[in-house]
A and B are shown apart, each in its own frame.
Chain A
């Protein structure tokens, strides 16, 4: 479901699912929690393969952000335009740092 690689101090996580919904949000959150518990506090989540997110999926992203807290950040990239409209509707576009691509996110994250 989640494929990860390390670059500098950043864990880049690729979500390899088409739907981040109530059927997978628990597993998603559990895997992300494992990354965070293992000391990864700066995470870039690439959502370019995700075509649908429901409120459970959105809630799981917020949970991960809270788990990291002030120790680091959960940055998002590759969000499809339909999902971006949902982020705006729920005002989550003001909660998360969002970049169009992995490259753009990496260049603005702390080195």
Chain B
């Protein structure tokens, strides 16, 4: 498969997430994305890495989180891998279901957490989560606008 790839590995410490974000920001400049889209795919990767550290590893440092960036002619994919506790797939939001369906005037019930996956669901075109051989892999795909109809 004709892709430009880069794999990054960080220690599972929330302080390290900006390292991935900084590299993704630069890498995505080679993809045909608008400034808003670039910000948003970076945000999705940050949310996925945060989730791996917080939920898969329970905020415990000393484990690896891998992020693989791959640029294809019509899309960008990110694989976020950890070897921690698998995510309950019920947590994965459904495509096409409104993610942020809350009453903005109902102060007490405004969401304070659990928004990471919802943001990813809104921004990414495809989300696949799989666990195999002790490794959890979240694959996020963003198709480029011009090729969207052909994909």
Q: How far is the CB of B61 from chain A (nearest CB, A)?
A: 13
**Interface hits, A49-95 → B, CB 8 Å:** 52, 54-56, 58-60, 62-63, 65-66, 69-70, 81-83, 85-86, 89-91, 94-95
Whether A86 contacts B39 in the complex (CB less than 8 A), given A59-B115, A62-B111, A94-B104, comes out as: yes
A82 and B39 contacting across the interface, CB-CB below 8 Å: yes
Q: Between A and B, how many residue pairs show CB distances below 8 Å?
A: 81
Tell whether, in the assembled complex, residue B50 and residue A22 are in contact, meaning their CB atoms are under 8 Å apart: yes
Contacting residues, chain A, for B122 (C-beta < 8 A): 89-90
**CB-contact partner of A23 in B17, B36, B40, under 8 A:** B17
Residue from the list A56, A62, A69 in contact with B50, Cβ < 8 A: A56
Number of B residues whose C-beta is below 8 Å from A?
A: 30
**Docked CA distance A56–B102 (Å):** 18
Check A65 against B110 for contact (C-beta < 8 Å).
Answer: yes
Residues in A with CB closer than 8 Å to B17 are 21-23
Query: Which residue from A21, A62, A65, A66 sits with its C-beta under 8 Å from B18?
Result: A21
Where the two chains meet, the residues of B that have a C-beta atom closer than 8 Å to any C-beta of A are 14-15, 17-18, 21, 35-36, 39-40, 42-43, 46-47, 50, 54, 100, 102, 104, 107-108, 110-113, 115-116, 118-119, 122-123
5 A-B pairs in the complex with CB atoms less than 8 angstroms apart? A59-B112, A63-B112, A70-B107, A82-B36, A89-B123
